């Protein structure tokens, strides 16, 4: 193979292959009479390293779309490929496999209250038993330092502020080097200052590690971090 050919393959895989490729997604909750369609023919592509914000009114289907992409719900109609795996028609195990490569950040941080910040982050490596204990500790500490909590490794969630807890959640989402970050209104429960900090940290780390982000937000003040903004209305992507 010539160098150009290699470069071309490389190029294709790393830059031109989308991390998320969705086309014709439809989704409805409920069955029979109570069926309520939420998503209508959604197309969405996200490229490696891209930071995409998803905006739209409450109830427009943003969270639903995110749960489908994250493999948290099974898709019934449409085509969806995430991190090179087909999710439409995938079984439960396949969904779990995809989820393990995604860093999730939720509106509620949902840290385990009985574990310290450090232990909450280290917990993720239970899914990666091949990583040695010493390395687990090092990476967790590094990641917490990266989100500005180097001084609070052994704090319990109950003695941290909302912003600090959300930063622990970011560290937890990023520590195992995910290939994609999905975030649903991560700043909704925070005041504007800590919300801004959280978003900045997220942006910086994503850029450093070249991880794409799909983030739902209502917060107009953070729109500037986006490479691209996608707007949803009544279950359709309008721009």
Partner 1 sequence: MKFRAPIAWSQLSHGRIKLLLAIAGVLFADVLMWMQLGFLDAMFESATFVPQRVSADLVMIHPQSQALFRMTQFSQRALHRVPAHPQVESIQAGYVGICDWRNPWTQRDRQIFVYGFEPFRVPMDVPGLAEGWGQLRNPDVCLFDKKSRIEFGDVPKALAEGREVQAELNRRKMHVVGLVEIGASFAVDGNLMTTDTNFLRTFPERKSGWIDFGLIRLKPGADIVKVQKELQATVGKEVSLLTRQEFVDFEKAYWQKNAPIGFIFTMGTAIGFLVGFVVVYQILHTDVANHLPQYATLKAIGFTDGFLWRIVLQESFILAILGYLPSVLFAFGMYKVAADATHLPLKLTAFRAVLILLMTVTMCFFSGSVAVRKLRSADPADVF
Ligand X SMILES: Nc1ncnc2c1ncn2[C@@H]1O[C@H](COP(=O)(O)OP(=O)(O)O)[C@@H](O)[C@H]1O
Decide: 175 and 124 in contact? Cβ < 8 Å: yes
Residue closer to ligand X (CB basis): 24 or 84: 24
SS3 for 20? strand
Chosen residue from 7, 14, 29, 191 binding ligand X by CB under 6 A: 29
C-beta of 36 vs 126, nearer to ligand X: 36
C-alpha closest to that of 56 among 66, 46, 48:
66
DSSP code of 91? -
As given in the structure block, the two tokens for residue 220 are 């107009």
Using rule CB under 6 A, residue 84 touches ligand X = no
List the one residue from 22, 38, 136, 168 that touches ligand X (CB under 6 A). Answer: 38
Q: Which of 98, 91, 96, 102 is nearest to 184 (CA)?
A: 102
Cβ 161 vs Cβ 174: under 8 Å: no
Closest residue to Mg ion in the complex (CB): 63
Q: Is 17 in the site for Mg ion (CB under 5 A)?
A: no
Total residues at interface with Mg ion (CB under 5 A): 1
Which positions from 146 through 185 interact with ligand X, judged by CB under 6 A? Answer: none
Task: Provide the minimum distance between the beta carbon of 121 and partner 1 in the complex, in angstroms, as a whole number.
Answer: 12
Cβ–Cβ < 8 Å for 239, 86? no
Among residues 37, 63, 137, 203, the one that binds ligand X under rule CB under 6 A: 63
- Applying CB under 6 A, among 19, 55, 60, 149 the residue interacting with ligand X is 60
Could you say which of 20, 25, 52, 56 contacts ligand X (CB under 6 A)? Answer: 56
- Residue that is written with structure tokens 């975030």 in the block: 183
- Sequence-ordered alpha helix ranges (H) in the chain: 3-11, 62-69, 92-99, 117-122, 133-146, 162-174, 192-209
**Residues making contact with partner 1 (CB under 8 A):** 63, 66-67, 70, 72-73, 96-97, 99-100, 102, 104, 106-108, 110-115, 119, 123-127, 129, 131-133, 136, 172-173, 184
């Amino acid at each position: 193979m010539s160098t150009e050919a290699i470069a071309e393959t490389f190029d294709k895989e790393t830059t031109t292959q989308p991390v998320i490729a969705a086309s014709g997604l439809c989704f409805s909750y409920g069955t029979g009479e109570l069926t309520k369609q939420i998503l209508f023919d959604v197309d969405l592509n996200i490229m490696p390293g891209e930071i995409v914000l998803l905006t739209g009114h409450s109830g427009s289907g943003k969270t639903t779309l995110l749960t489908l992409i994250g493999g948290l719900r099974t898709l019934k109609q449409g085509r969806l490929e995430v991190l090179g795996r087909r999710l439409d028609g995938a079984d439960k195990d396949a969904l779990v496999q995809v989820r393990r490569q995604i860093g999730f950040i939720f509106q509620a941080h949902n840290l385990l209250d009985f574990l310290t910040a450090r232990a909450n982050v280290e917990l993720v490596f239970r899914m990666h038993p091949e990583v040695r204990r010493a390395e687990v500790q090092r990476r967790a500490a590094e990641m917490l330092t990266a989100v500005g909590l180097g001084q609070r490794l052994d704090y319990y969630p109950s003695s941290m502020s909302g912003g600090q807890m959300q930063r622990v959640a970011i560290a937890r989402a990023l520590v195992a080097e995910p290939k994609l970050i999905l975030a649903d209104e991560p700043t909704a429960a925070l005041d504007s200052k800590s919300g801004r900090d959280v978003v900045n940290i997220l942006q910086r780390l994503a850029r450093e590690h070249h991880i794409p982000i799909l983030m739902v937000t209502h917060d107009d003040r953070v729109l500037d971090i986006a490479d691209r903004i996608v707007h949803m209305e009544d279950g359709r992507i309008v721009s």
